[in-house]
């Protein structure tokens, strides 16, 4: 739908302007050499984090109309959860609780692994990307152990890249494995459309097209 495409393109332009979306040669954790890289850690100022949170809030407000709370897995998910909860309150008058985990269990003060609101009801996991699904599995286990119900995941970018032998992408794997709804602010296919409209990035478009030919997922769940 056009409005979705326009929103995705606006987000990609924002990421490009912020230096978060970059082109070149980047070796991923998987060992693949990617012609692009999305480093959400570079949303590292008040202004960029505020704008990023507005994109997340808009997507969640539309995709998750019923009650939920946010869970931000340490470490990148922590500022995303906090900032997005603020954006939902300010822009949509939805007062959404949020929580996050510590990497190490605290043995003094209030103790424990969790910080923030008590986890219960439907929980949306908020993160930057999904790679192999390991972080999602850890979050699902934490949420269930705390008495909550993992309901959905929202990420900034879906690479639409095969991670399983049968050609499924990370989002498809998470949907199949955990039964979660998955929302993305932008997708690789939208990135291709975005680049196609920018003649000055023609070489980058060709590099990404070649990369998709090698590693693109064969199944997409929407």
Active-site residue (options: 9, 61, 76, 108)? 108
Active-site residue (options: 29, 106, 198, 214)? 106
- Rounded Cα distance between 173 and 31, Å, is 20
108 catalytic residue (yes or no): yes
Contacts of residues 73-79 at CB distance under 8 Å and 24 or more positions apart, as own/partner, are 73/100, 73/101, 73/125, 73/127, 73/135, 73/138, 73/139, 73/142, 74/100, 74/101, 74/102, 74/103, 75/103, 76/40, 76/41, 76/127, 76/128, 77/125, 77/126, 77/127, 77/128, 79/49
Active site residues: 106, 108
């Amino acid at each position: 739908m056009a409005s979705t495409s326009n929103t995705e393109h606006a987000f990609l332009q924002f990421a490009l302007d912020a230096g978060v979306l970059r082109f070149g040669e980047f070796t991923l954790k998987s060992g693949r050499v990617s012609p692009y890289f999305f480093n959400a850690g570079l949303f590292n100022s008040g202004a960029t984090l505020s704008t990023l949170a507005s994109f997340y809030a808009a997507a969640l407000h539309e995709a998750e109309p019923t009650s939920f709370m946010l869970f931000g897995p340490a470490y990148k998910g922590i500022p995303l959860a906090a900032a997005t909860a603020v954006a939902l309150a300010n822009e949509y008058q939805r007062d959404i609780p949020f929580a996050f985990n510590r990497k190490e269990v605290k043995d003094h003060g209030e103790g424990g692994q969790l910080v923030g609101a008590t986890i219960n009801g439907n929980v949306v996991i908020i993160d930057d990307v999904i790679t192999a699904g390991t972080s999602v599995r850890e979050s699902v286990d934490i949420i269930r152990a705390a008495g909550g119900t993992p309901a959905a995941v929202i990420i900034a970018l879906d690479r639409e890249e095969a991670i399983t032998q049968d050609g499924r992408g990370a989002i498809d794997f998470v949907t199949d494995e955990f039964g979660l709804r998955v929302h993305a602010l932008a997708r690789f296919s939208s990135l291709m459309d975005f680049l196609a409209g920018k003649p000055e990035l023609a070489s980058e478009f060709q590099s990404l097209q070649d990369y998709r030919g090698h590693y693109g997922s064969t199944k997409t769940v929407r």
